[in-house]
Structure 1
Amino acid sequence: MNSYSASLDQPRSHSPSSSSSERDARRINADSKTDPGSIALGVIIGRSSEFFDFFVYGIASVLVFPQFFFPFTDRLTGTLLSFAVFSLAFLARPVGTVVFTAIDRAYGRGTKLVAALLILGGSTASMAFLPGYKDIGNWAIALLIVFRLGQGFALGGAWDGLASLLALNAPQNRRGWYAMMPQLGAPIGFIFAAGLFAYFHSAISQADFLEWGWRFPFFVAFAINVVALFARLRLVATTEFGALLDRAELAPVRTVDLVKNHGVDLLIGTFTPLASFAMFHLVTIFSLSWVTLTTDHDISSFLLVELVGAIVGTGTIILSGVIADRIGRRGLLAVAAVLIAIFSIVAPVLLSYGSRGLDAFVIIGFALLGLSFGQAAGAVASRFGKVYRYSGAALTSNMAWLIGAGFAPLVALGLATSFGVAYVGMYLLSGAVCTLGAIAFSRKLETMDD
């Protein structure tokens, strides 16, 4: 921890972040011991459910929503409008972080989690019942916007501190290994979402898929959220979690205090993971839209290619933990950013090379994404000392998602169709430059502190 952070992280009074029911639950479980493996499992389950919700929406925003909610325009414009709605959730995420942090301070972590995940699951499941534009006109679009904002708002409040708990329980020489575990939720969530859509898209007629087949994954999302909620609440009620809260290591702080005392770290934390976050939606949502709009590639087959890519990405996320423990997390992020910068030059060629080029774009992209994304969260959290770690990690994560990933499908598709696929590479390159700049600036600050 640098001297700047250490000087700010003196103990101060906080509102207790646990309700009476949570404290009772901890007393009941006083004799139990939660090992890092149990914490890791809870973290992975929670993150997988969140990403499943968002990828279900993301895939539907390409395959269904342009025709279902925007049939009054051409397919390209409909997809761009669908991506505009897609981006709204990322605007709502930082707002959700601020609001639910206040709820956390006043009513406890369990209350916050229940409220956030019910809103998240409820918003996702409600989309399954939405009528289309042909049924109620613009009201259908308005309801879609409301539920999409609900997804983002809730996800901004779903931060549970378990990733920080996992990091604090990790051995000193295994920090990179434990930092990558929460990141596994992204490819796992995508694998299930892509698998469901691939099955329904291939098993039933296109008319049935657009009428009812696309709705089933949204129902599944709610059920997964319920399971994830109980898994996370079980860990929040452990004695270890309560002890960390009592020492203010995972207690929420006021957003105003966080910005005042750690404004520079918030800025660095926002820009450090942009290379991986820019890549994130390019290899998943944008590539699917590009295939749908510009090629005759079978959609179900391409979803399976993306599923294979996600498996590859899972492997490189695990690999990132091994490498990071040898060369450091930020060192790995820098290497991955350079590789992504190189890939940004090759990417336009692959996108223009037909189905095989698109498949290669996805597989290679997922591999590089895993190396970078696997350590993105750990490097961000390390900038904050114990008092500010919980709130700082939550806010920087959601700000980074907003800037790096929220508009990626919309911007990339707009640039590619208006100016050519070379501009997709330039967009990806900008993310790599931001990551390298943030890492260099962070190291410069630490040198000045020393």
Structure 2
Amino acid sequence: MTADTFSTRLPGARAREDDQARAARQAEGHPSVSPGDIAVGVIIGRTSEHFDFFTYGIASAIVFPQVFFPFADPLTGTLYAFAIFALAFIVRPFGTALFMRVQKHWGRGAKLTAALFLLGTATAGIAFLPVHETLGAHAIILLALFRCLQGIAWGGSWDGLPSLLALNAPVRRRGWYAMLGQLSAPIGFFAAGALFLYLYTRLEPADFLGWGWRFPFFVAFAINVVGLFARLRLVMDNEFSRLLEERELRPIGTLEMIRTQGRHIVTGAFASLASYALFHLVTLFPLSWLVLQHQRTVSQVLSIQLVGAAIALGAMLYSGHLANRIGRRHTLGLVAVLIGAFALASPWLLSGGAMRQDVFILLGFVLLGLSYGQSSGTATAHFLPACRYTGAALTADLAWLVGAAFAPLVALGVSDRYGLGGISVYLLSGAACTLAALAANRSARQRAA
């Protein structure tokens, strides 16, 4: 595929062409796949991934420091656990590139099956993994290996349905449909957090650290199996397959994408950086910091975070309506400014009593819902349809790596050494990157016009 293939067309022109093509298919008698059908597939598939994602994340904050790093003090053990947590995001782009080649040679079904089989194997491996007391340093090495395999599998599990949803949605409601796939994040966190909270409060501490923490990983494995068959049923359906091919949602070489669309990948990733920077600072960081500082218990933090996840779900739904009214770009820009203001207040909120700490968590989840709800659609809006399949995957990989991979590690380490002001700097930098990327996108659109 040559660079000429990626000739630039205005988003508005592409949208009109999309609507005209959809009308032509219906006039010719072709069955039409509704955006709602696609949205169901996106939510099912990504919820299983987010449950797996948060199962590991929560365990990194409250379990792994004790069972895999008992030789270190609690803070250092948590930092070690968060360092291994970041490995999945580092290797994820390699997984994307690897499984794109698998799809080219053996098809979308083989790719998805192999990726989710690898994810299930890695997750089950963690569930059965002996702890440091039994296996010594080899337990840590195996944990890191399984975490890398999870990251490679996440890169390979991209099925193109979010891109298909964005292209197939009505033009005036694309903000709403772009949000639907993102609902999987608060749903996944709520399910994983509720399961950990139940086990933590119902089991004796020795039982929880001995075997109770493994149960969510078994559940994650089972959910992955269900998610695999649900997604395969969709992506292998003749009508879905036809629509994916018709929309040119097929893999493109990673090097070719970087060479011809590298600018869009970078600006797309940075346009959603405020959201990704906030992602772990309201989920994993409070769960580690407040407990390590002996200010709150695990059950207290998880309980308020479950309320926050429910609120984030509502905020995401509202973001869809807001984006339809003022546009996705303006929505992300507005929320980035609010995240900047939230960043300035964060040290004061976290250093206060329980009420202020709860406000930090709940307000953070509101902002996360508003921003994350539109981060996916905005990140890929400037790709041509033929580039959206690979471009969306690489953009998400870069956003997770730059914005979220090291967030709990950096926030915890910096806060311990320099105080909570480090969180303000981290979130402010993310908000600034989002605003700069949105401004760059706007300038590019004006030049193209």
TMscore range, shorter length:
over 0.9
- The correspondence of residues 43-442 of structure 1 with structure 2, limited to 5 A, is 43-247=42-246, 249-442=248-441
CA–CA distance in 1 between the matches of 2:271 and 2:30?
40
CA distance in 2, matches of 1:65, 1:276: 26
What SS does the aligned partner of 1:70 have? coil
Q: What's the CA shift for 1:230?
A: 1.1
Q: For 1:100 and 1:385, how far apart are their aligned partners in 2? A: 21
Runs (5+) with no aligned partner, structure 1: 11-29
TM-score (norm 1): 0.92
Contact map agreement 2:167 2:385 (CA 8 A) in 1:
no
In structure 2, relative to structure 1, the CA distance for the partners of 1:6 and 1:104 (3 Å cut) is closer
Alpha-carbon distance in structure 2 between the residues aligned to 1:232 and 1:32: 20
Conserved? CA contact 1:156–1:398, under 8 Å: yes
- 1:168-217 per-residue CA deviation (whole Å, 9 max, x = no partner) reads 22111100000000100100000000000000000011111000110000
Deviations 1:356-402 (A, max 9, x none): 22211110000001111000000011110011110000001011100
Distance 1:314 1:264 in 2: 32
User: What is the match of residue 39 of structure 2?
Assistant: 40
Q: 1:38 to 1:7 in 2, by over 3 A?
A: closer
**Partner of residue 12, structure 2:** none
Q: Which runs of 5+ in 2 are unaligned?
A: 10-28
Distance in 2 (CA, whole Å) between partners of 1:7 and 1:422 is: 44
What SS is found at the alignment partner of 1:295? Answer: coil
Amino acid at match of 2:229: F
**Distance 1:32-1:297 versus aligned 2 partners, 3 A rule:** same
CA deviation profile, 1:286-334 (whole Å, cap 9, x unmatched): 1100111012422112211101101100111110000000100011000
Name the amino acid aligned to 1:290: W
What secondary structure does 2:364 align onto?
helix
431-440 or 165-174, which deviates more: 165-174
Q: Distance in 2 between matches of 1:5 and 1:367?
A: 43
Contact 1:8 1:261 in 2 (8 A): no
State the 1:38 CA deviation.
2.1
Q: Contact conserved, 2:123 with 2:146, CA < 8 A, in 1?
A: yes
Note closer, same or farther for the CA distance 1:291–1:161 as it changes in structure 2 (3 Å cut). same
Equivalent residue pairs, number: 428
What's the offset of the Cα at 1:167?
1.6
3-state SS of 2:169 partner: coil
Instruction: State whether residues 5 and 385 of structure 1, in contact with CA within 8 Å, keep that contact through their aligned partners in structure 2.
Output: no
Does the CA contact (< 8 Å) of 1:6 and 1:385 recur in 2? no
Retained in 1: the 8 A contact 2:6–2:384? Answer: no
Percent identical pairs in the alignment equals 54
